A = this chain, B = another copy of it.
Amino acid sequence: MIYEELASALYVAMERSDTLAIEQLIAEMQPADLAEFVRHQTIDATLKLLTHLPIEQRAEAFGYLEVDTQCELAENMTEEGLSQLFVHMNSDERADLFNELSEDRQQGILRRMAKEEREDIRRLASYEEGTTGAVMTSDYVTVPAGVSVSRALDIVRQTAPNAETIYQVYILDEHQKLVGTLSLRQLILARPEAGVDLLMTTELVSINASEKQEEASRLISRYDLLALPVVDDENRLIGIVTYDDAMDVAEEEATEDIHKSASVGPLDDGFGKAKISNLYRRRVNWLVLLVFANILSGAGIAFYEEIIEAYVVLVFFLPLLVASGGNAGSQASTLMIRGLATGDVSARDWGKLLSRELIVSASLGLTMAATIAGIGFWRGGMDIAQVVAYSMFVIVVVGSLIGMSLPFLLNKLGWDPATASGPLVTSIADIVGVLIYFGIATSLLDFGL
């Protein structure tokens, strides 16, 4: 509500080029809201607007923009202006942007940076996208082992202006190895003359920089951490991942899994901003692949052409039966994929889950068979009622078991279980459904083969 009011006032002020009003309004806005506002503006208007902000707030608001937008803006700034911004941005956001800039810009920026910052950018930008190293920041507080609480607090105060969080303090030995952590809460409650070594927590949760970013996010969520220390292969502290970045990662990962559930490939820039060509590419592969899967269903039907000609009424029940198998299978695979993604179930539980699914799907199959039997009787008499009821039961059970097993199988093969999307499970269930249905029909109906 308040955002909408500020936004429309700012819009009016910009129309009138009322500098004073613009400056007042953007000072009142949260950086995240300013970024939201800017999203609907042209590049030129945005650049002009950003000049009204003091450099710290400019860098903060800038950090809330998508990397694509940041990049577009950066390419339109002077090298001087962009360098200033780089100095004030969070180290992780800065490295992400750096990776997207043109070679020329990259060189220009590096030339203007102090040695230390140049190395920081190079180091953070070197981690592959999707790894913990690529989302970590190098702005954290460390204290050497052996110091007193009051000395540690002094260090915290000195480092605070450049640290992304000061609420976790990391204690390093002389080889830069991480030996413990202390929270600021512990520090301000402790006696000033106490030593940090006696107070610090030594049961550490940490992660290697090469691990996947979703693992970092999972650890932060599991242990309710404010920040997760990131170490190299020698257990030297090289960065931290903060909870807010973990929230973003978790949201991205959920979005990716949800898109996969409908066999849509990952969209880097989000659905709202995605280009037509990108949307096309992310959707076409599976659609075409599934056509070939569905040809098998068609071939199954063709194989039974004679019984269809003899009993055309069977076709009436075809979409309903195969769809039920697909739907039950989608339900089972979706429950399983999400359970695996959140750690609610693990691959070891398969046997137990499969037997539970057997009972659940048999109950579902019985309900569905009862539902459909009456309609079968009405459309085609007792024989047809029997065929469709039996088929329904078997199709629902088999569809469910396929849906439950496929994510596990993919997991075992080292693939992402989310590949077992609804459309894929549905297509497989369709083929199996056709074979089950006409197979049962052939064996039960009086048909002179």
Chain A residues at the B interface, C-beta cutoff of 8 Å: 28-30, 32, 153, 156-157, 160-161, 166-167, 184-185, 188-189, 203, 205, 220-224, 226, 243-244, 246-248, 250-251, 254-255, 257-259, 261-264, 270-272, 276, 279-280, 283-284, 286-288, 290-291, 294-295, 297-299, 301-302, 305, 308-309, 312-313, 315-320, 322-324, 326-328, 330-331, 333-339, 342, 344-345, 349, 356, 359-360, 363-364, 367-368, 371-372, 375, 396, 422-423, 426-427, 430, 434
Contact = CB atoms under 8 A, between A and B. Distances in A.
17 contacts: A30-B203, A161-B189, A167-B184, A226-B226, A258-B338, A263-B330, A271-B344, A276-B359, A280-B363, A283-B364, A287-B328, A290-B327, A295-B320, A302-B313, A305-B312, A305-B315, A319-B322
| Copies of this protein, total | 2
Given A28-B203, A295-B375, A264 B316 contact: no
Contacts of A327: 262-263, 286-287, 290, 423, 426
Closest A-B pairs by Cβ, 9 of them: A262-B334, A294-B320, A297-B319, A254-B254, A298-B316, A224-B244, A271-B339, A272-B345, A272-B344
B294 A333 contact: no
B360 A262 contact: no
A54 to B, nearest CB: 15
A156 B188 contact: yes
Given A243-B247, A250-B250, A272 B339 contact: yes
A160 B183 CA distance: 12
Nearest to A30: B223
Contact of A318 (B246, B301, B324): B301
A203 B221 CA distance: 28
A221 B248 contact: yes
B258 A261 contact: yes
Contacts of A259: 334-335, 338
A207 B394 CA distance: 51
- Which of A160, A246, A262 has the most chain B CB within a 10 Å cutoff? A262
B344 A270 contact: yes
Contacts of A302: 313, 315-316
Given A244-B243, A434-B319, A287 B324 contact: yes
